[in-house]
Chain A
Amino acid sequence: DGGITQSPKYLFRKEGQNVTLSCEQNLNHDAMYWYRQDPGQGLRLIYYSQIVNDFQKGDIAEGYSVSREKKESFPLTVTSAQKNPTAFYLCASSVLAGGYEQYFGPGTRLTVT
């Protein structure tokens, strides 16, 4: 059963703590992406990776970090430097980078208080 999984579904953290969101895919896709979605706003790209061991900053990378050590996995760390971390975080993948259809995981809703 191919797809993208994200865990956990809900996450609560105190301000000042780093937190890592998991994203795994078994679609054999080369490219993976992290977005955040805030109420009333479109998806905004945080980081993306076209291939293993490579990643690029998106439009709002400040306060976030990623790694891509395996093709299947693209974890996102929300650091304490991120000013407004409370949001809905979505991971996606596509067969290749560059305008192909992206498929999304179910998302992680992060609340930082």
Chain B
Amino acid sequence: RKEVEQDPGPFNVPEGATVAFNCTYSNSASQSFFWYRQDCRKEPKLLMSVYSSGNEDGRFTAQLNRASQYISLLIRDSKLSDSATYLCVVKFNTDKLIFGTGTRLQVFP
């Protein structure tokens, strides 16, 4: 089993739709969680950290479910500019971050 698993997609959604991605992780002792966004042939950019209580930033909401060992990202009112690959990132009990392979989102007009 991979340490961090994501559905590769693509998720094809129309503008204005709501879309959600999940990411599962294998280590119950995981301590920190992040979502990054990566555009084609560009570097990953931090989208948001994921806190135990969940957090929201505009149209983006992240949730953590420790019991089931997954985190989620919800995007409301999708924009064309949201088209990208979304990387789930988890810190296990080391100094390293583990990156998922990403979920590709394509928003169409």
Q: What residues make up the interface of A, taking CB atoms closer than 8 Å to B?
A: 35, 40-43, 45, 48, 50, 58, 88, 90, 97-107, 109
B60 within 8 A of A: no
The interface residues of chain B lying within 8 Å CB-to-CB of A48 are 95-96
B43 adjacent to A104 (CB under 8 Å) = yes
Number of interface residues of B (CB under 8 A): 21
B97 adjacent to A42 (CB under 8 Å) = no
Q: What residues make up the interface of B, taking CB atoms closer than 8 Å to A?
A: 4, 31-32, 34, 41-46, 49, 87, 91, 95-102
Determine the main DSSP class of B at the interface with A.
strand
Smallest Cβ distance from A74 to chain B, in angstroms? 15
A106 adjacent to B34 (CB under 8 Å) = no
A99 adjacent to B101 (CB under 8 Å) = no
The interface residues of chain A lying within 8 Å CB-to-CB of B42 are 106-107
B95 adjacent to A42 (CB under 8 Å) = no
